[in-house]
A and B are shown apart, each in its own frame.
Chain A
Amino acid sequence: MLNKTFLKNQTKIWVEKGIIDKNQAMSILGLYNLSYDDKNKNFSIISILGYLFLGLSVIVMIGHNWENLPALARAGLLIFTTLALHIISFYLFKTKNNSNLFFLANLLYGASIILIAQAYHLGTYAPDGVFWWAFGSFLVAIFIKNPWVNLQCFTLALIWLYMELDNDFYPFAFWIFLAFCAYSLYFSKQSKTLYFLFLSSIIYFVPYSLVYFSFGGAWVSYKYMEYYLFLTPFFGYLAFLSIYKLNLEPYFNMTKIYINLLVNFFSFFLLSKSIHLDFSLALWQKLPFQITLGIIIMPILALTIALKNKDLYIISAFFVCVITSFFLPYPFWLINIILFSYYAYNVYKGIMSNDFSRYFIASLSVLIFAFMRYISLIHDYITAAIFFFICALILLMSAKIFKKYSGALS
């Protein structure tokens, strides 16, 4: 992001100095999905924020409770205002192709739901109101393809998801919202924030659903946390491979960073024998290896083979090793050497591909790995010394091999 901002500022200076012309600047920035002139975007942010505060002021005003006015008159007035605002938004959209006002119209629609609930003292089940708010807003969003309205709708859907889970209900309709969101991401203008929320939801909700249905509708409580933590990075990696396969260019780098962070964070669990034991026991009892093979390993292998990328072969092999390790007694040396080699490989790849985030995350992982091992092995000096010696050998030998390999390439 910082590099892109730098490039954007630099191209403007180059144009001012006459080194390149405006068209050349636009072509250069186009290579990195940047636009030369961002004036419209900035105005859009300001107007959306304005609409947000306007909508909030209406909602807060409803909170005051104007009970001197008849309930029907209050509800009728707000429904009429919502309809009128939709008509104005539609007119603006048709004539000026500006759809930002729908953001406010959706807020007023939600305010109407709140007002009806308040005027008629409806306290039945609050998430239902939020659900209809999100659903109605999404129906508008899919036709206007406005990234702000899409973001607004998906945020509402996430609030509804949280409320349903909090009430111990499985939110079936969240699949519809995910489908809406996928559609919006694919066909609308790119929105990295929406994509981040979408990816996080997939990584959270798919394993959650699997755990929920595997254990007869039980809430993912502490009791099932091992499954949940086990499944999350693997579904994350599956999502990453799918995005790679779909060639979703604008979102690819973001996914890579996100998944790298998730996987490396998860890998730290493997460093502890007791956590490995907890995971293994939970998995042995409830999740047979055949199911794991079917729902995680096979799709990972199939997608990796289809992608034909050497880097992905190595990462997928790492994943399969990690999955398999949970179905074996704790192989201390094997797990540690695999993890350490994986981090070292990522440092190398980060340097070779000028991928700063990969290099940074992997280097940090090496340091955390060393720190954790130092703490856990401190009582056993000989083992600790041998262990760190082997780690050093891996690093030094890797450096030599990588150097030779990259020399041969150049």
Chain B
Amino acid sequence: MKKPLIFAFIFQILILISMLFFAYAPLKLGEMIKVQATGYDPRDLLLGNYSNLRYEHISSIFTKEYFKNKEQIYLSLQKQGSFYIGKTLSREKPNSGLFLKGRVDYSYQKDDGYKTHLIFGIEKYYSTAKNSKNLEKKLRKQKAIVTLGVLNGLVRIKSVEI
């Protein structure tokens, strides 16, 4: 029973390498886009300080159709001026164009449609306690410009500038 143990911890290392790959791939192989964001600074018990980012016309979008909480969705993007914003929300993967893969956080009825809040895994920007506080102060006054790497729906934060 001792030899199969080697495969068990090699499995752990493979998991870590694959996580690293999926984290790294959109930044190296994906297309770089810029979006605008606002935010505030909370703290995670395990991961430390971070700034919570809300992306304009991406983190929440108005839809005619109702999407259930936690449902997997795809948000097609379109360029407006220098920045990208969300265009349409669908359950099926778009055939072309830039899109983000995420989940519905929650949605509620508004006017004749629904305000749908979305999560893409780019809502937290981890930094040191000092930098997070500085970023929070700046975010109170102005919007951040966030550069994202997008690859086949997978998205990662490259940088946050103010």
Contact = CB atoms under 8 A, between A and B. Distances in A.
B83 interface: no
Given A109-B16, A167-B70, A83 B124 contact: no
Interface string A79-103: 1001100100010011000000000
B131 interface: yes
A90 B5 contact: yes
Contact of B69 (A79, A116, A142, A168): A168
B16 A63 contact: no
A294 interface: no
Interface stretch (A117-125, A230-238, A336-344, A382-390): A117-125
Nearest to B126: A118
B16 A93 contact: no
A323 interface: no
Given A86-B9, A114-B47, A140-B9, A67 B131 contact: yes
B17 interface: yes
Interface residues of B, number: 41
Contacts of A86: 9, 12-13
B123 interface: yes
Interface stretch (B19-27, B54-62, B86-94): B19-27
Nearest to B101: A124
B121 A124 contact: yes
Given A125-B121, A167-B70, A116 B2 contact: no
A65 interface: yes
A169 B46 contact: no
B123 A123 contact: yes
Contact of A121 (B70, B119, B126): B126
Contact of A79 (B13, B119, B126, B157): B13
Contact of A123 (B5, B13, B69, B121): B121
B49 interface: yes
Interface string B89-129: 00000000000000100000000000000011111111111
Given A64-B48, A118-B47, A124-B121, A143 B8 contact: yes
A65 B48 contact: yes
Nearest to B11: A139
Interface string B124-151: 1111110100000000000000000000
Number of chain A interface residues as a range: 35 or more
Contact of A113 (B1, B19, B48, B129): B19
Q: Determine chain B's interface SS by DSSP, over half rule.
A: mixed
B128 A82 contact: no
Dominant secondary structure of chain A at its interface with chain B: helix
Contacts of A137: 12
Contact of B5 (A79, A93, A113): A93
Contact of B2 (A62, A120, A123, A143): A143
A136 interface: yes
Given A83-B13, A121-B157, A94 B8 contact: no
Given A67-B128, A72-B24, A116-B16, A136 B2 contact: no
A90 B10 CA distance: 12
> Which of A109, A116, A123, A136 has the most chain B CB atoms closer than 10 A to its own CB?
A123
Given A121-B156, A168-B69, A65 B49 contact: yes
Interface of B: 1-2, 4-6, 8-9, 11-13, 15-17, 19-20, 23-24, 27, 44, 46-50, 69-70, 103, 119-129, 131, 156-157
Interface of A: 59, 62-65, 67, 72, 75, 79, 82-83, 86, 90, 93-94, 105, 109, 112-114, 116-125, 132, 136-137, 139-140, 142-145, 167-169
17 contacts: A72-B24, A79-B13, A86-B9, A119-B126, A120-B23, A123-B119, A124-B120, A125-B121, A136-B12, A140-B5, A140-B8, A140-B12, A143-B1, A143-B8, A144-B5, A145-B1, A168-B70
